[in-house]
Amino acid sequence: MTVTLNPLYRFETFVVGAANRLAVTAAKAVAEAPGTVYNPLFIYARPGLGKTHLLMGVGHAARSINPRLAVEYLTLDEFVEAFHAAIAAGQGEAYRKRFLDVDLLLVDDVQFLTHRREMQAELLRLTDALQTANRQIVLTSDRPPAEIEALDERLIRRFAGGLIIDVAAPDYETRVAILRRKAEERRAAFAEGVLEAVAGLGIDNVRELLGALNRMIAHQAVSDAPISPAEARELIGGTAGRRSGGVEHSEPSVPTAPSEPEPVAAAAVPPTPRGAEQDEFSDFLSEIHATVAQQVDAWRTQIGAAILRWQGEGYRTGRLEALLDSDVAPDPDQAIQGFERDVERLRTMELEAAELAPELAGSPAFRDPAEMSAAEALLLRARNGAVPPPAPSPIWQLADVVEGAGTRVALEAARVVVQEPGARYNPLVLVGGSGAGKTHLLHAIGNLLAGQCLGSVACLSAPEFTAELIDAIDRDAVSAWRQRYRRCVALLLDDVHLIGEKDRTQDELFLLFNLLVESGRQLIFTSATAPAGIAGLEARLRTRLEGGLMVELPPPDPEVREAVVERELIARVGSLDPELAAYLASRPADSVRVVVAQLQRVLNAAEARGQGATAALAREVLDGVPPAPVARKPGANRSSGIVAPTAGGARSREKTVWEWPEIGDRLLEEWR
């Protein structure tokens, strides 16, 4: 007598849309752990929206998880029939026992309980017994319990104590999905737009929708050409239009007149028999109970719905479930709002953590609003564990920068920036030729800023910046890369003139620039040319670079050159030869690096010859003249160390190579 589960009615074949997502989530939760959550589960929906499908889906899913589970599906009519047969055979107890052995009881169409008092009492007994034994009961109806006419208020309360949930009509997208899936199941192919056209007709009853599909399949089978969207609309629209709003109530409606003999109607005209008098009050009481239960237990339903929603989104809802267990009615709005606030915070934290460390996305710690501290700890770990941006090199110190007439302004600006980062000169742009000491000064400022321990100081060259960005794009980790720089207290970018024509780098720098400046963090740039002279630099960046303080670092003047040579000599030789120092300082050099390189050449030659470094040796090495002093015209001084001397070509080449400061710079020069 009990209908076996229809093998087609499984969760896998149920098309989930916005209208039924909650119900499906609840049904799945029940199938996975019968008797532990939402007991009883009461699903209601208009006919043709999939109640029976869901109900059987619970049975299939529960069985597939635990094949030994005793699952029983029956409609209310069968339930009633079985009861009557059992009573007639004097086997009432056996009937009860039969259902008490069921682990998962699925009862369809309970709206037919209307006016069946003895069946209501039986179902109440059964529900209580199953609940006590932690066994699951799932019921479906075409209307909510409170709207089932003359339903015992105790039953309503039992249902409200579990979960009452409805399945709404499918939206357009779901209808298209349903049609596609069913067409696929039936191996029917339709021209493009046909199923969409049918879904657009507004038939929101799934059963009727499938009827429409059947009609189209049949129609297409007998016609030569595939059916077109317009034809489909005409074919289906003609029938759908005749129904009111396209909604069909194909199932028999609940009988208004009870099929069983009922006690005499209440409030009958007197004289009333004693039993009916009692009933009059009972009816009243039952209705009052139902009304009160509805009002008082409304919060349970509200919280139940919230639990489902958030469980559906993968969050743990223990906090809300605890409320359901408590006997006292809380303020549901407040509880749910509090919960939602925490979920929102978890989401924000998860996003940030995922940017810092992609493997943290989806971590369970970000799914439990009852354990906010765990999520916070994880985020902190991610923040701490994130690779910091490149730091300034410690070998460059401000004390090593030689102060001269040309560098004074730059040094003063550097000191101000270190004293009040982000406040006075923001950005600070140091402009100077190669070897003028820009990089040195930049790193030196960076080291001082880093020494203030306010946070990480990013100091890197523009090409490195671009390379990191390309790598981040390659790894699909641009967000994390951005975050790294956005957390810095200062950004120091060397050779910013090299980002000309690099559009994406400029975009990123622009965003970063705004963010850092607005939050009062210091930006320092170095450039070989003034921003206006950087080819391919977007105006928005150029104006921003020009908006701070631009300081020029000129080639070293004799005063600086002398100071440099003296410092280097003392550092390398340990003593100072004034003549040598004066000679080296007098040689033209457009950068400190050239001065140092010249000194290095002299020292190398001295070491090779096993003699001390002298002014004579220096002249021989640098000018290619014999040690004997030669009277030189002042005009014979070359303008730079890299101009070919009077000696032979081979030496000239060698000299050229020697006088290039560094291979890297040479490459950059050539690249430029």
Partner 1 sequence: MSLVNFTAREITCKIVYYGPGRSGKTTNLQYVYGRVPEGRRGRMVSLATQTDRTLFFDFLPLELGSISGFTTKFQLYTVPGQSYYNATRKLVLQGADGVVFVADSQARRFDDNLESLQNLQDNLLSEGVDIRQLPVVFQYNKQDLPTDLILAPAEMDDALNFRAVPSFGADSLHGTGVFETLRGISEMVLKRLAAGTAVA
Q: Which residues bind partner 1 (CB under 8 A)?
A: 153, 157, 266-267, 269-270, 272, 277-278, 280-281, 283-285, 287-289, 291-293, 295-299, 327-329, 333
Which positions ≥6 away from 94 have C-beta within 8 Å? 86
Residue labelled with tokens 């002042």: 634
Neighbouring CB atoms inside 10 A of 615's CB total 18
- In the sheet where 163-167 sits, what is the strand order? 71-75, 104-108, 136-141, 41-45, 163-167
Q: Can you read off the two tokens belonging to residue 21?
A: 């997502």
CB of 273 to partner 1, least distance (A): 12
CB of 157 to partner 1, least distance (A): 6
The helix/strand/coil state of 588 is: coil
Closer residue to partner 1 (CB): 329 or 380: 329
CB of 294 to partner 1, least distance (A): 8
H-state helical runs in 297-399: 298-312, 318-325, 332-356, 372-385
Closer residue to partner 1 (CB): 118 or 287: 287
Are the CB atoms for 494 and 526 separated by under 8 Å?
A: yes
Nearest CA to 391 out of 447, 475, 453, 462 is that of: 447
Closer residue to partner 1 (CB): 68 or 274: 274
Neighbouring CB atoms inside 10 A of 236's CB total 24
Closer residue to partner 1 (CB): 221 or 328: 328
The amino acid at residue 522 is Q
Closer residue to partner 1 (CB): 299 or 425: 299
CB of 286 to partner 1, least distance (A): 10
Cis ω for the linkage preceding 40 (within 30 of 0): yes
Closer residue to partner 1 (CB): 262 or 333: 333
Q: Report how far residue 3's alpha carbon sits from residue 120's, in angstroms, rounded to the nearest whole number.
A: 21
Are the CB atoms for 105 and 99 separated by under 8 Å?
A: yes
Residue labelled with tokens 């930049």: 442
CB of 137 to partner 1, least distance (A): 20
Closer residue to partner 1 (CB): 227 or 290: 290
CB of 281 to partner 1, least distance (A): 5
Closer residue to partner 1 (CB): 287 or 400: 287
CB of 293 to partner 1, least distance (A): 5
Closer residue to partner 1 (CB): 272 or 483: 272
Residue labelled with tokens 């003549």: 579
Closer residue to partner 1 (CB): 8 or 329: 329
The helix/strand/coil state of 41 is: strand
CB of 148 to partner 1, least distance (A): 17
CB of 272 to partner 1, least distance (A): 7
Report how many helices (DSSP H) and strands (DSSP E) the chain contains, helices first: 27, 10
Are the CB atoms for 17 and 48 separated by under 8 Å?
A: no
The DSSP result for 189-243, as a single string, is ---TTHHHHHHTT----HHHHHHHHHHHHHHHHHSSSPPPHHHHHHHHHHHHTTS
Q: Can you read off the two tokens belonging to residue 57?
A: 């889906």
CB of 295 to partner 1, least distance (A): 5
Measured CA distances, 533 to 17, 410, 496, 527, 549 (Å): 59, 20, 12, 10, 16
CB of 133 to partner 1, least distance (A): 23
Closer residue to partner 1 (CB): 340 or 546: 340
